[in-house]
Structure 1
Amino acid sequence: MTEIQKTQPLSIDYLRRGVKAQLHQLDPGLRVIAENIMGLASPIDLVTVNDHGDVILMLLALEGESDAALLTRSLAQRAWVAARVGDWAKLAPELKISPDTPVRAILLAPSFATETRAASRSLRAGIVQLVRYTAVRAGPHSGLLLETVGSRGPSSPEGQQGPVRKFTVPETAPPLPAFRSNLRDSDLGLKSDTEESLGE
C-alpha cells in the first residue's frame, strides 16, 4: 500500500498550478480569466468568475507567510478590482461578468489564526472565504487536501467552526477550460507581475 506523506509546495507557482487544476473542487462553475496579475501593489494569484458572473479573487500563502497580511491584501485587491469590474464587463462581454455583484475572495493558506478567522467573520457573509490546504504525496502522485474554514453562527460559541467540507484533490484531475478574449491585459486594466500597478 502506498504511503501518503505530507509535503510542502515547492513555490507559490507550484501551489497556484495545483489550485488552478482543481478549482472545480471549490466550485464546479469557477473559471480562470487571469492569473498572477498585478493588482494594487501586489499580484493577484487567480481571478475567477463563477456561473453567476461573480468575480472571485484567489490569494495564496505558503507555510510561514502571514495569514493576517493575506486577509488585508485581499480587501485591498477587492477594492481595486471592484473599481474596474464594470469596464471589464463592457470590454469583454464574453467573460459574462456581472458588474453589479460584490467582488469576493477565497484565501488559501496552511492555517488561519484565531484573529484572522474573527476578522473574516466580521465581514459581510460570503465576501471572504478561508480555505486551509495540506499538500500530500502518494508515490509519484501529489495533490492537495482542501478544507473550508466555517463561520461562527449567531448562537455558536466563540472560536467554534461551522460546517467544514473536505476535498481530496488528485493531481490528475482535469483542468478547467480557460476563457480568452482578443483584448490585451492593458485593455482590461490588468498588469503583468513585471509591470507597476497604475492604482486608482
Structure 2
Amino acid sequence: MGAEEIIGRSSDKRALGGHVNYDIVKTMSAKEEQSYGQLNNWILVFDWADGNFVLWDIVSREANEAVEAYSRYEREFPEEEKYEVVLIGTSNIATVQQTHSHYFGIEHHVEALQQMDESIIGLSHRNELDVGSRRILLTMKRRSYWGKNTINVATLKNHFCRNVGTFEDSLSNLRTRGLIIGSDPVSLDVKRAQDINSYV
C-alpha cells in the first residue's frame, strides 16, 4: 500500500492512473492499412500530465520532411508542459505497445508492485532462518548433499562451514525444521527441496 500512496501523491499521478487504451492501436493500425508492410514514420504526442495520447500521425518517409514535422510538433507540444513527442519508424504500428509500453497505462506498474510483494514475502520467508542455517543449507545444496549423498557433520563444520559461529545451533534448527535428515552423516531432505530453495 505504501508504494500506491507514493504514486498517488506524485505530481504525475494522473499519468500513472491512466487506462490502457487499446483502441488507439486499433485506430493507428487502421490508418496504416493503406501502406501496410511498408516502413512508415509516425509521430506520437503523449501528455504525461493527463496520461493520454494527444495525437498520432503518419508523416513523410523522406528523412528531412519527417525531421521537419517532428520539430514542428516539438514546438507545438513543449516538454515543459509535460508533453513528449516521439518519432517512430515501423512497418507495423501495433508493435508500439511492446516497444513503447510505458505509454500504455498502469498495468506495468501493477505488475511491478506485485513482483515487489512477492520479493518481500520471499525475503520474510528467508528471515525465518538465522544466517548460519542459511549458509549450511546453501553449502549443502551447492555440493549436492541430498538424500543418499551424505556428508559427515565434522567435515561440514570444519571444512565447508568453518566461519559459521552458530554451527551447532543452526544445524539443530535445520534438523528441527526437517530440512536436514540424519544425525551423522547428514543430507538435505529431497522432499523439502522447494522449501530449501526458497530459503537460499
TM-score, normalised with respect to structure 2:
0.21
Q: More relative contact order in 1 or in 2 (CA 8 Å, sep 6+)? A: 1
Name the larger-Rg structure: 2
Whichever structure has more helix as a proportion of its residues is 2
